[in-house]
């Protein structure tokens, strides 16, 4: 589900980051929100705050009325950014998209495609594009879009390169578990019929 809210004009909200991944308010779904005043040129000079919130696998939200959804989302936003508590929603756009989320699974990386193509002036972007950035889902689509734009600038030799901010390093316990998983897979690969084991 996707919700775009316009808040203001007398109580604009300052959003520290243009893209924000969230969890922890409900067990069954994840969500993210974006500062469209920063991301989209159409809203750059707007006198209102324009924010987009996307919810993944949020079937229980689909049956709510628009008013209930706006109340729930502004409540979530205010837990992330306190200024949303006093924000007045002056416009909304709600999209309900049941069964529309892409499905990734262990081993799906090998089916993803590269951002460069066999055509010298055609570049690809999206969440099914391979990248070493480390972002995922919509954030990955955004980053691969910037990468495609940079390839275009490089190809045309016109324009300025977009700055791509790297993701933060994984916490030590995540790094340790990844290392353990790699070691386990290396050992498992030495056994006969290892390809038939659950990946």
In this predicted structure, what is the pLDDT of residue 194?
Answer: 62
Look at residue 4 in the predicted model and tell me its pLDDT. Answer: 86
53 within 8 A of 45, measured Cβ to Cβ: no
CA distances to 50, 88, 90 from 46, rounded to whole Å, are: 8, 15, 13
Structure pTM?
0.60
pLDDT in tens, 114-144: 999 999 999 999 988 999 888 877 788 899 9
Query: Do the beta carbons of residue 5 and residue 89 sit within 8 Å?
Result: yes
């Amino acid at each position: 589900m996707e919700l775009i809210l316009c808040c203001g004009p007398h109580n604009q909200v300052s959003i520290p980051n243009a893209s924000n991944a969230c969890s922890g308010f409900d067990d069954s779904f994840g969500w993210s929100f974006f500062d469209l005043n920063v991301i989209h040129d159409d809203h750059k000079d707007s006198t209102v705050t324009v924010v987009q919130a996307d919810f993944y696998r949020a079937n229980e939200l689909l049956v709510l009325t628009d008013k209930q959804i706006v109340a729930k989302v502004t409540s979530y936003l205010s837990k992330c950014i306190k200024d949303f508590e006093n924000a007045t929603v002056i416009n909304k756009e709600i999209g309900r998209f049941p069964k529309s989320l892409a499905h990734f699974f262990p081993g799906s990386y090998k089916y993803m495609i590269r951002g460069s193509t066999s055509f010298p002036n055609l570049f690809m972007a999206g969440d099914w594009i391979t990248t070493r950035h480390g972002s995922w889902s919509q954030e990955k689509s955004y980053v691969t879009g910037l990468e495609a734009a940079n390839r275009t600038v490089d190809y045309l030799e016109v324009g300025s390169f977009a700055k791509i901010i790297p993701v933060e390093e994984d916490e030590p316990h995540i790094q340790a578990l990844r290392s353990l998983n790699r070691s386990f897979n290396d050992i498992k690969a030495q056994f006969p019929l290892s390809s038939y084991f659950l990946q």
